[in-house]
Structure 1
Amino acid sequence: MKKILLLALFSITLMGCNDPESVAAEAAQLRAEQHPDRTYVGVHNYYIMESSEHAAFGRKKELKVMYQDFPRYFVEKAKEWPKEDLNDASSYDLPRFQFAWANSSSKDEYESGLKIWSMKTDGTDLRLVTDATIGFASIRNLARSPNNRYVAWAGSGGQKGVYDLKTGKVSNMHKFTSPLDMFWSEDSRYLYFDDAINSYARWDSETGEISEIDFQIRTATVSFDGKRMTVLDFGVLVVDANTNEEINWIGVDRSLSMNERSLDISSIDPEGRYAWGSNPSFGFFFDIEKGTVKQMVDDFVPAQILGKDAHYSALSKMTYVTIVDRIEDKVWSWRAFSHGAMSGKGILYNGLANDGLWFKGSK
């Protein structure tokens, strides 16, 4: 293939066409003719469309497997890939996933370094968010501000940073090396995080100042409509976001043993109306608005990521994207990336777009 391409380019030169743009255009046309199944993004990158695959959740739930085509990405040169752009409205017409991914396993330090990426929940519109995380051995947690402008990350040692998509500025908080939990205020001004064992702080995006706070931080937290909803070890706490006064506590059955009622997996929807918690024995679905919790033994699907109104959920590991329609009991699973390595958990942001529906044309 390389020989054919070189001969083609050599022929173009012999014909007197030395214009680099013309050479590139001819090369692109040749690639397209040789690989009609590929859509090229830059010179070295492309994606193909492949059908989703079978997905099973064992005894937990019978789901209808859905088959449709999704993009599978081949990214060799990340700098050639489009970056997420706050001014591009077309990127925000669906909710989006965000994740840490080293796009290549090659020896190239840049390509094999962890970078933060995003894509729509239907698998389209892959974007490079930032490469400021190159050098981190792992990214354990991510948090995106409600206005989509700020992306925060926490490394395996608890080192934290924030990237501003509007200015390109990176704010490092590497001196805080311990737990990984963090979430954003409803107005996107403050990033709340744990800065030591049983010690919590907030970072001010306007001033850059860091100050201590007196309430517990958990990643499964949403600040919405003046309230803060947090999934804790044994239930959901609702407080006034301004005064921190408790509004409601929705706890699981206290007659259960500690292991049976501990929420090993937890998630909360973008408006804080619903939450999920589960362990090997039980699943718990919280209707936060009604103040109720439903306990399930079988016939449930764990929700590591929960969409608006709990309509959709996803697994947080983005190596294989797995999405469940919890209303219609459908599941999609596809391999979105040809190679490279994921680190940590994927998250959902821009979750209220398209009325929270993860596919266009959904009802």
Structure 2
Amino acid sequence: MSTLKKILLLALFSITLMGCNDPESAAAEASQLRAEQHPDRTYVGEHNYYIMESSGDIEFANKKDLKVMYQDFPRYFVEKAKEWPKEDLNDASSYDLPRFQFAWANSSSKDEYESGLKIWSMKTDGTDLRLVTDATIGFAAIRTLTRSPNNRYVAWAGTGGQKGVYDLKTGKVSDMHKFTSPLDMFWSEDSRYLYFDDAINSYARWDSETGEISEVNFQIRTTTANFNGKRMTVLDFGVLVVDANSNEEINWIGVDRSLSMDERSLDVTSIDPEGRYAWGSNPSFGFFFDIEKGTVKQMTTDYTPAQILGKDAHFSALNSFAKVRIVDRVGDRVWSWRAFYYGALSGDAILYNGLANNGLWFKEGK
């Protein structure tokens, strides 16, 4: 055999060996094998995947009859959160629908990271699950979540009143642990200030530009909407509308004062992103507030509770996400599905980016 042929054969043999040891080739082969073994799974990274499952039945006791919708939604199996895509402010495709945000420990394993509470988000149609931040690992529970109107800042409060803010743009975490219960908070319309209660009957605001914390002299409630220079807040017995700059009262929309305290008290509350509508209920009554008109409708039956309220009150949801339950309040339709196979949720989910897609929670045709 000629020397040239020997060199060519050795080169070909070396290339073949390199191909066998190439990590990218090995990963591609493993991915192909998984796809062949589990054709119903869509893998995200090596250890995570989702499957598509149909939504199912749901009942609201003594409430309005709704048409149950059957539609496929993703069900997520996340074993390694570090492999999962993070929410990215520069990815416009993530913000073409309103989004839910929630605290979820994605695994029940003994791994401290995977079993720790992290903040996640997904579109209102169940797609595009994203890891927002893992800065909440170590918290025993998350009680309150909120997102700034520009989507950049996520704030949370845990048990014991521990509070923090995560900046999606810079990755910076602002720690406000020195402040204690209660746990209410909301954002200014321009996303600069986070308002929160730092003690009983003591209220403050955090400046996202300077990091400074200063006192304010008005009551803080999470069920608040800042829009067009007005601040609309759902309180114990009604909705207060004030000028966001002067704090002067513009309107008070209260429930019927002839009711007893228990019948008047709003135990479950929500408000739409523009502050046009609000919901309140207790075991006896449901109350629907048309803030723009200054009216309230009192109901005993034939209504659907709304713990999360979308734009124009078109869509609503129950905020416990062990099972996602969405209601089209205009079309009298309901969807119910399980988004997560395992793990544990903490606290309540919230809505943000609520004005996207004109506030509609599904793309056209759904």
- Report the TM-score, using the length of structure 2 for normalisation: 0.95
Secondary structure at 1:157 match in 2: helix
Per-residue deviation, 1:60: 1.2
Shift of 1:328: 1.1
Matches within 5 A, 1:154-303: 154-303=157-306
Gaps of 5+ in 1: 1-12
**SS in structure 1 of the partner of residue 219 of structure 2:** coil
Alignment of 1:67-146 (within 5 A): 67-146=70-149
Whether contact under 8 Å (2:19, 2:25) holds in the other structure is: no
Listed one character per residue, the Cα deviations across residues 81-111 of structure 1 (whole Å, up to 9, x for unaligned) are 0000000000000000000000000000000
CA distance in 2, matches of 1:351, 1:47: 25
The corresponding residue for 2:60 is 57
The residue number in structure 1 matching 2:358 is 355
> Equivalents in 2 of 1:15, 1:93: separation in Å?
44
Change (3 A) 1:278 1:46: same
Give 1:14 deviation, angstroms.
8.3
Q: Which residue of 2 aligns with 1:5?
A: none
Alpha-carbon separation, structure 2, partners of 1:179 and 1:302: 25
What is the letter of the counterpart of residue 19 of structure 1? D
Q: Which residue of 2 aligns with 1:10?
A: none
Shift of 1:61: 1.4
Q: In percent, how many aligned pairs have the same letter? A: 87
- Structure 2 counterpart of 1:33, from 32, 36, 60: 36
Find the counterpart in structure 1 of residue 9 from structure 2. none
Q: Provide, for residues 245-275 of structure 1, a one-character-per-residue CA deviation record: whole Å limited to 9, x for no partner.
A: 0000000000000000100000000000000
> Partner residue of 2:6?
none
Per-residue CA distance 1:118-161 (angstroms, 9 max, x = gap):
00000000000000000000000100000000000000111100
Q: Which protein is bigger by CA-based radius of gyration?
A: 2
Asked if 1:341 corresponds to 2:334, the answer is no
* Aligned-residue offset at 1:15: 9.8
Seen in structure 2, the aligned counterparts of structure 1 residues 175 and 362 have a Cα distance that, compared at 3 Å, is: farther
CA distance in 1 between partners of 2:322 and 2:119 (Å): 14
Residue 71 of structure 1 aligns with an amino acid whose one-letter code is P
Amino acid at match of 1:63: L
Q: Could you tell me how far apart the structure 1 residues matched to 2:19 and 2:66 are?
A: 61
Q: CA RMSD in A?
A: 1.1
Q: Distance in 2 between matches of 1:362 and 1:180?
A: 39
**Is the 2:107–2:342 contact (alpha carbons within 8 Å) kept by the matching residues of 1?**
yes
Give 3-state SS (helix, strand or coil) of 1:195's partner: strand
Q: Give the letter aligned to residue 277 of structure 1.
A: G
Letter in 1 for 2:334: V
Q: CA deviation at 1:319?
A: 1.2
Residue by residue, what CA displacement relative to the aligned partner does 1:63-82 show, whole Å, maximum 9, x if unpaired?
A: 11100000000000000000
Question: What is the letter of the counterpart of residue 284 of structure 2?
Answer: S
Query: CA separation in 2, counterparts of 1:272 and 1:73?
Result: 33
Aligned length: 351
Offset, 1:16:
6.1
> C-alpha separation between the residues in 1 aligned to 2:158 and 2:164?
9
> Counterpart of 1:307?
310
- Helix, strand or coil at the partner of 1:146: coil
The corresponding residue for 1:9 is none
